[in-house]
Amino acid sequence: MRVLLVEDDPMLGSALQGALQDHSYAVDWVRDGAQALLVLHGQHYDLVLLDLGLPQVDGLQVLQRLRGQGNAVALLILTARDGLDERLRGLDSGADDYLCKPFELDELLARMRAVLRRKGGTGAPQLGNGLLRLDPVTRQAQSADGPPVQLTQREFALLQALLLRPGAILSRSELEDRIYGWGQEVESNAVEFLIHALRRKLGSGAIQNVRGVGWKVAAAA
Closer residue to Ca ion (CB): 31 or 199: 31
> Interface residues with Ca ion (CB under 5 A)?
8, 51, 53
Cβ pair 101, 59 in contact under 8 A:
no
Minimum CB distance to Ca ion, residue 101 (Å): 9
Non-local CB neighbours of 129 within 8 Å, separated by 6+ positions: 163, 166, 167, 217, 218, 219, 220, 221
Question: Which residue type occupies 42?
Answer: G
Task: Give how far Cα 97 sits from Cα of 28, 43, 89, Å.
Answer: 20, 22, 12
Closer residue to Ca ion (CB): 77 or 158: 77
Closer residue to Ca ion (CB): 8 or 176: 8
- Nearest residue to Ca ion, scored by beta-carbon proximity: 53
Nearest to 170 by CA among 209, 210, 215: 215
Closer residue to Ca ion (CB): 8 or 174: 8
Minimum CB distance to Ca ion, residue 141 (Å): 37
- Residue 197, φ and ψ in degrees, nearest 5: -65, -40
- Residue 56, φ and ψ in degrees, nearest 5: 70, -85
Minimum CB distance to Ca ion, residue 116 (Å): 24
Eight-state DSSP code of residue 69: T
Closer residue to Ca ion (CB): 51 or 96: 51
Nearest to 61 by CA among 33, 83, 42, 86: 33
Minimum CB distance to Ca ion, residue 8 (Å): 5
Minimum CB distance to Ca ion, residue 150 (Å): 37
Closer residue to Ca ion (CB): 53 or 94: 53
Cβ pair 101, 111 in contact under 8 A:
no
Closer residue to Ca ion (CB): 60 or 164: 60
Q: Within its chain, how far is the Cα of 217 from the centroid? A: 19
Minimum CB distance to Ca ion, residue 7 (Å): 7
Cβ pair 45, 4 in contact under 8 A:
yes
Minimum CB distance to Ca ion, residue 146 (Å): 46
